[in-house]
C-alpha cells in the first residue's frame, strides 16, 4: 500500500514540476491571484483539515497509531526543514525574492507529506489530497516564493519522510490502513 501511494506522489510531483516550468502567469492576473490564495489561506486550511482528519481517524478507530504516525512525520519533517533552512547558506537556498531560507520549500514538504498520510487513511480520495498539495506547491513558484528546485526538494523530502515512516510500520505490521 505505501508503495502505491509513493508512485502516485511521484506522478503528481512530476506534473507539478512540468507546470512550474511551463505555466507561469503575469502578476495580478486572475490565476496569479488564485496562486496567492493557494499559497496562503488554502495551505493553512488544508494542513489544519489534514491533521484534524487524522485525529478523527484515530478517535474513530480507537487507536493512537494514526496520531503517532502524523506526529512522527511532522516533527521529523519540521526538524529537517529548519536545519536546512537555517544552516544552508548556498545559491540553492536563495529565494527568488533574494532572501535565504528557501531550500527546501516547507509548504511543498508539508502538503505532500500530509497528502501521503491522508492517502493511507482515505485512499479513495487520494486524488483530492494530491490536487490540494499540487496547487499549494505550484503556487509557491507562481508567487515568486520559491524556485523549481526548492519545490522539488520539498515534495521529495515530504513524501520520502512520510513513506519511510509508513513503510517501517507496514513492515512491522503495525500500520492500520484502509484497503
More reliable by pLDDT, 170 or 74: 74
CB of 129 within 8 A of CB of 171? no
Extents of the domains making up the chain: 2-16+28-171
Which of 13-17, 22-26, 154-158 shows the lowest mean pLDDT across its residues?
22-26
Task: Locate all alpha helices (DSSP H) within the chain, ordered by sequence.
Answer: 2-22, 30-37, 43-61, 65-87, 106-121, 126-142, 148-171
Nearest partner of 65 among 109, 121, 111, judged by Cα: 121
User: Inter-axis angle of helices 126-142 and 2-22, to 10 degrees?
Assistant: 30
pLDDT, position 139: 92
Q: What is the mean pLDDT of residues 21-44?
A: 82
Taking only the tens place, the pLDDT of each residue in 110-159 is 999 999 999 999 999 999 999 999 999 999 988 888 999 999 999 999 99
pTM: 0.90
Taking only the tens place, the pLDDT of each residue in 57-99 is 999 989 888 999 999 999 999 999 998 888 877 788 888 888 8
Phi first, then psi: give them for residue 75, nearest 5 degrees.
-65, -45
Residue 128 CB-half CA count within 13 A: 10
Cβ partners under 8 Å of residue 1, min gap 6: 120, 123, 170, 175, 177, 179
Amino acid at each position: 500500500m505505501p508503495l502505491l501511494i509513493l508512485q502516485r506522489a511521484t506522478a503528481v510531483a512530476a506534473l507539478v514540476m512540468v507546470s512550474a516550468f511551463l505555466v507561469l502567469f503575469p502578476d495580478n492576473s486572475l490565476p496569479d491571484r488564485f496562486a496567492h490564495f493557494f499559497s496562503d489561506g488554502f495551505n493553512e486550511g488544508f494542513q489544519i483539515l489534514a491533521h484534524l482528519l487524522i485525529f478523527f481517524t484515530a478517535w474513530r478507530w480507537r487507536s493512537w497509531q494514526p496520531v503517532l504516525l502524523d506526529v512522527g512525520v511532522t516533527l521529523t519533517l519540521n526538524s529537517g526543514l529548519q536545519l536546512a533552512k537555517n544552516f544552508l547558506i548556498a545559491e540553492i537556498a536563495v529565494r527568488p525574492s533574494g532572501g535565504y531560507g528557501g531550500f527546501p520549500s516547507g509548504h511543498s514538504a508539508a502538503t505532500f507529506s500530509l497528502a501521503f498520510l491522508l492517502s493511507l487513511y482515505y485512499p479513495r480520495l487520494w486524488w483530492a489530497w494530491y490536487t490540494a498539495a499540487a496547487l499549494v506547491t505550484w503556487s509557491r513558484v507562481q508567487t515568486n516564493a520559491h524556485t523549481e528546485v526548492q519545490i522539488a526538494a520539498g515534495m521529495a523530502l515530504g513524501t520520502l519522510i512520510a513513506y519511510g515512516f509508513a513503510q517501517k510500520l507496514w513492515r512491522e505490521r503495525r500500520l492500520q490502513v484502509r484497503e
